Chain A
């Protein structure tokens, strides 16, 4: 049995965002994700990485292959020690109108992912985790 994919990356530049995107896309393809599901997780990753780079300047992205009970999925965790997000509930529900690009990126990623979790403390940082499962054939 091969070791499931797991890679941690620094996210501190546009190049890093592109690399993270590519990593997720290639992983999704190699796991046999259909194009729509692959696009969902790749785009969510792009949104979240951009948030880190633009608002927190530096953070990490952990991309992992996950699986339980025969299901296969991809988990991406974005971690930063940036300013944190105030009024997270409003930001998440508002989308394009409230919270600007940060809000759209977060609410968009949440809609695209199967599972979404966010922990944020103003002044300390943020951790966002998204999971996308492969569609059963």
Chain B
């Protein structure tokens, strides 16, 4: 099952911007992860911004998929930032005791793109 169509992915320079607008079911989340990693492999994207402004509910499975996606993308050399988490979602995850480790966050798409650029620049500066 493909996530294409339900989760639009834009290319902004060498950064991918994925906007999740629909309520995520497990299989769509898994498909999204697969799609994004394939797209990174195909395009060699240096950055990935996942916009979850549209997500009203995120449970531990979806949260884990998102966090893992970020970590997997990082292994492939792509700087990842998750943006736009809603207050209700953040509060619920924290209250559940869920720890979203290894993932950077930013307030919104602009902030996310900026952060990604900085990280990419830093990486190049360090000569990786």
Q: Contact: A101 with B60, CB < 8 Å?
A: yes
**Interface check A82, CB cutoff 8 A:** no
What's the minimum C-beta distance from B94 to chain A, rounded to whole angstroms?
Answer: 10
Is the beta-carbon distance between A112 and B88 smaller than 8 angstroms?
no
- In angstroms, Cα B60 to Cα A107, docked, is 11
A49 → chain B, closest Cβ, in Å?
10
Q: Are A96 and B97 in contact (CB under 8 A)?
A: yes
Picked from A21, A40, A95, the residue with its CB within 8 Å of the CB of B92 is A40
Report how many residues on chain A are interfacial, defined by Cβ distance under 8 Å: 24
B interface secondary structure, majority: helix
Given contacts A47-B60, A104-B60, contact A96 B95 (CB under 8 A): no
Judge whether B59 is part of the interface by a CB distance below 8 angstroms: yes
**Given contact pairs A36-B88, A40-B92, A95 touches B57 in the complex (Cβ within 8 A):** no
- Tell me which residues across on chain B come within 8 A of A96, comparing CB atoms: 97-99
Contact (Cβ within 8 A) B88 A35: yes
Chain A residues whose CB sits within 8 angstroms of the CB of B58 once the complex forms = 43
**Is B95 a contact of A14 with CB atoms below 8 Å?**
no
Contacts known (A108-B96, A111-B97); A17 close to B60, Cβ less than 8 A: no
In the bound complex, what is the Cα–Cα distance between A93 and B126 (angstroms)? Answer: 43
Is the beta-carbon distance between B60 and A108 smaller than 8 angstroms? yes
Given A14-B27, A25-B57, A50-B26, are A104 and B95 also a contact pair (CB < 8 Å)? no
Chain B residues, CB < 8 A from A18:
23, 25
**Can you identify 17 A-B contacts, CB atoms within 8 angstroms?**
A14-B27, A17-B26, A18-B25, A36-B92, A39-B56, A39-B91, A42-B57, A43-B58, A43-B59, A47-B60, A50-B26, A50-B61, A104-B60, A104-B98, A108-B59, A111-B95, A112-B96
Q: Give A residues with C-beta under 8 Å from B.
A: 14, 17-18, 21, 25, 35-36, 39-40, 42-43, 46-47, 50, 95-96, 101, 104-105, 107-109, 111-112
In the complex, the 3 A-B pairs of residues with the closest C-beta atoms, listed nearest first? A108-B96, A46-B59, A39-B88
